[in-house]
Every structure is written in C-alpha cells, then in structure tokens.
Amino acid sequence: MISNDKSDIVEISESVAEIFDLQAPNSFTNLKDYRSFKEFKQYLTKKISWLMDNKFDLLINILYRIDIGEEKLQRLFADKNKQNIPEELSDLIIERQLQKIHFRKKHKPGNY
C-alpha cells in the first residue's frame, strides 16, 4: 500500500507531525521535506523509540489518536522481540495515515 507519491509523503509527514505536536509539543521540531517513505520512517522510528523509553503513556495516547487498531497493538507489544517495536509502529502509523488519505481522496465530493 505504500507508494512513493510525493504528495502522500508530504501529507502523511504533516498529519503525523500535527498529531505528535498536539500531544508532545516540539516533538517534531526537525520536520522537513522527506523525499521517501523510507526517510520519513527512519525519522519516525527514532521518535517512537524515544517515546517508548521516556514517555510511554504519551506514545499510547498518540497511537490512540492516530487510530491504530488495538488488536494490532496488542500483538505487537506481546512480541518478545521489543527492539522491532518502534519500526513496526512506524509501519502501522504510515499504513493508517495512507488509508485515511486514500479514503478522503476516494470520497471527496465529485469522485462518485
């Protein structure tokens, strides 16, 4: 589902930054124009890793706002290999934001 459509990358990075900043002001102070999902994912993974280590409750609130499925989160956090969690959370966040973008585009007035 991940594309390298530049407009999708921009829209996802901006919406994720907005959600993070509402919950944790200045958490995305290095937000920039990402050229690929890989570059954005690396940045997001670092932010998630920091939140997991320092502000786990805040991370859970952010995931709730983004609307990551509870069942997916339970499976992920039940995994014994905790080192993969930040990267996998990044994938889930990007995937969910892409779903929202595609839904909005599909149901935009005039697209029926």
pLDDT of residue 53: 92
Distance CA 3, CA 8 (A): 8
Query: What integer pLDDT is reported at residue 30 of this predicted model?
Result: 53
Query: pLDDT digit string (tens) for 66-88?
Result: 999 889 999 998 987 889 999 99
CB 24 within 8 Å of CB 16: no
Q: Is the pLDDT of residue 56 over 80?
A: yes
- Tokens 């973008």 correspond to what residue? 101
Quickly state the pLDDT bin for 1 (edges 50, 70, 90). very low
Name the maximum alpha-carbon separation found in the chain.
47
Residue 89 has pLDDT above 90, yes or no: yes
Domain ranges (residues) in the chain:
6-105
Q: What would the two tokens of residue 31 be?
A: 């937000």
| Neighbour-count burial of 40, counting CB atoms closer than 10 A to its CB (0-12 exposed, 13-18 middle, 19+ buried) | buried
Statement: residue 49 has pLDDT above 90: yes
pTM of the model: 0.77
The pLDDT assigned to 80 comes to 79
Counting beta carbons within 10 angstroms of the beta carbon of residue 17, is it exposed (0 to 12), middle (13 to 18) or buried (19 or more)? Answer: middle
